Amino acid sequence: MSDIGIILGSDTDLPKIRDCIKILEEFGVSFEIIISSAHRTPEQTHEWAKSARAKGLKVIIAVAGGAAHLPGVVAAQTTLPVIGVPVETPIAGGLDSILSILQMPSGIPVATMAAGKSGGINAALFAITILAISNEGLLLKLEAHRKKTAENISDNNKKLKSQGYAKYIDALENEKDP
């Protein structure tokens, strides 16, 4: 029995949420993943969404791009919180995905995250934030995660001070193009 259900419209979206999954693993949150399209496998999508609560899922993460109907279609079949992750596209970097997920009519909410890589990561963290309302253990991990993020920046500042900006930038650019 998993806490989080992840649904993707296409297997080609899987790499875009690799970091999302890693966060869930890092926090020890159980999850299941399904590939199911709002349009190509509507019955599977409805059934999965409809039975999500009964199966014990607590939060759903739905990933889609373009006319990204999946998060809204899932939200129409469940009273669990649904988090939508827009996939980047050529249309202004994913404005189609963003607006298709975001502009839901009143009655059926979807919680939209940023387009791109940080959207996937934040979907995982937001799901954990929801679970952590009543889970002390997760809350402590969440606080530790925030602390570590802050410490990374502190480390970067030390490195910047000791190396100087020029060396720091050169090192960053070498990482990108080895």
Q: List the interface residues with a second copy, window 22-81 (CB under 8 A).
A: 33-42, 44, 46, 58-59, 66-67, 69, 72-73, 75-77, 79-81
**In the set 11, 28, 136, 174, which binds a second copy (CB under 8 A)?**
11
Query: What is the pattern of x (binds a second copy, CB under 8 A) and - over residues 92-131?
Result: xxxxx-xxxxxxxxxxxxxxxxxxxxx--xxx-xx--xx-
Closer CB to a second copy, 28 or 105, in the complex:
105
Least separation in angstroms between CB 110 and a second copy: 8
Taking Cα atoms as reference points, which of 64, 57, 70, 66 lies closest to residue 31?
Answer: 57
CA-nearest of 13, 10, 8, 45 to 116 is 13
Using DSSP's 3-state secondary structure scheme, residue 29 falls into coil
Detail the DSSP E strand segments found in 68-168.
82-86, 111-112
**Does residue 64 sit in helix, strand or coil?**
strand
# chain residues binding a second copy, by CB under 8 A: 92
Token pair belonging to 51: 């039975």
* Pairing, β 4-8 against β 59-64: parallel
Quick one: which of 1, 28, 54, 134 contacts a second copy (CB under 8 A)?
134
Restricted to residues 147-166, the positions that interact with a second copy (CB under 8 A) are 149-150, 153-154, 156-157, 160, 165-166
Amino acid, res. 25: E
- Using rule CB under 8 A, residue 2 touches a second copy: no
Nearer of residues 29 and 83 to a second copy, judged by Cβ? 83
